[in-house]
Structures are given as structure tokens and as C-alpha cells.
């Protein structure tokens, strides 16, 4: 684990929350991205070296829709930057953590990602994310 890469926040209305976070941080979102496979629309903010990801559901069956139904808006996950996501997943699996996918998935912002089950991490959803390297051979759940 290299550092906290971003904090993910679940919001009901991405436009409203973008306005709010722009006022809070004094800078607009630097990027928007639709992650259709996850049923999520995302906006990214930077403050210094740190990144905040706002996540809104675009479908009723997305994980963000579930989260907001159960817990309301708020901190959804903490993401850690890793150098080799396959090696980290193996290390964590060997240490008894439950991974939510057996292979990384292609996530937002040009990353390979994997989530850990929050039951094994004191109720906090943890995301591993690795920048996809130029020319890297990628093995994910979606493309086999
Ligand atoms: Co994230």
C-alpha cells in the first residue's frame, strides 16, 4: 500500500454535490466520468495531493444506490494506491481478507481496482487501485 489515493463519497445528486464541493474546496471538479458497468457517475476533485471522488447512482441497482438506501449519503470507501494490484490481492487474500472480486476490474480514472469486504475491515469499504501502466497486460473479471 503506497498511500491513500482517494476518498469516495456517495451522493444523491452529482450536480448539486459538485457545486457544494467546488465551494468547499475552492476549485471545480477536474474530471467527470461515467462508469456504466458500475451504474455510477463520478466527479473528481483535487485538494493538494489528495483526491475526492463523488459517486452518484445512475441505475437503481448500482452499489451506490444500495448504499444510499441503507446508510444515506456519506463516506463510501477509502482507496489505497498500490503498485501491483495482483500481488496486493494475493497478499491480502493470504491474510484472510475477503475480496469482492477474484480479479481486478477496470475502474474510473484509468485504474485497475478491487474492493475488500467491509465486514473484514471494521465496516469500511476499502478499494485497492493501481494506475494502468502503458502496455501492461491486463487480466480482469470483465474481459477474462
Ligand atoms: Co474509488
**For 60-77, how does the pLDDT look when each residue is reduced to its tens digit (9 = 90+)?**
999 999 999 999 999 999
**What number of helices (H) and strands (E) belong to the chain?**
3, 8
Q: Which three cell numbers stand for residue 108?
A: 474510473
Q: What is the mean pLDDT of residues 92-116?
A: 93
Q: Give the model's pLDDT for residue 110.
A: 85
Q: Is the predicted pLDDT of residue 140 greater than 80, yes or no?
A: no
29 pLDDT band, cuts 50/70/90, is: very high
* Three-class SS state of 96: coil
Calculate what percentage of the chain has a pLDDT beyond 90: 83
Q: Which three cell numbers stand for residue 111?
A: 485504474
If you measure from the C-alpha of residue 94 to the centroid of ligand 1, how many angstroms do you get, rounded to a whole number? Answer: 23
pLDDT digits (tens, 9 = 90+) for 106-118: 888 889 999 999 9
pTM (2 decimals)? 0.89
Lowest mean pLDDT among 30-39, 48-57, 115-124: 30-39
If you measure from the C-alpha of residue 46 to the centroid of ligand 1, how many angstroms do you get, rounded to a whole number? Answer: 14
Q: Give the model's pLDDT for residue 143.
A: 44
If you measure from the C-alpha of residue 95 to the centroid of ligand 1, how many angstroms do you get, rounded to a whole number? Answer: 23
- How far is Cα 137 from Cα 31, in angstroms, rounded to an integer? 26
If you measure from the C-alpha of residue 41 to the centroid of ligand 1, how many angstroms do you get, rounded to a whole number? Answer: 12
The DSSP H or E segment spanning 3 is strand 3-10
Amino acid at each position: 500500500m503506497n498511500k491513500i489515493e482517494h476518498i469516495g463519497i456517495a451522493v444523491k445528486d452529482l450536480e448539486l454535490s459538485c457545486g457544494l464541493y467546488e465551494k468547499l474546496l475552492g476549485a471545480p471538479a477536474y474530471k467527470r466520468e461515467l462508469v456504466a458497468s458500475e451504474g455510477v457517475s463520478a466527479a473528481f476533485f483535487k485538494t493538494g495531493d489528495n483526491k475526492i471522488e463523488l459517486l452518484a447512482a445512475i441505475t437503481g441497482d448500482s452499489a451506490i444506490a444500495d448504499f444510499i438506501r441503507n446508510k444515506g449519503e456519506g463516506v463510501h470507501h477509502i482507496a489505497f494506491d498500490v503498485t501491483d494490484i495482483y500481488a496486493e490481492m494475493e497478499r491480502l487474500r493470504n491474510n484472510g481478507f475477503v475480496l469482492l472480486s477474484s480479479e481486478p476490474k477496470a475502474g474510473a480514472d484509468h485504474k485497475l481496482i478491487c474492493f475488500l469486504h467491509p465486514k473484514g475491515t471494521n465496516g469500511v469499504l476499502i478499494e485497492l487501485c493501481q494506475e494502468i501502466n502503458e502496455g501492461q497486460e491486463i487480466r480482469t473479471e470483465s474481459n477474462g
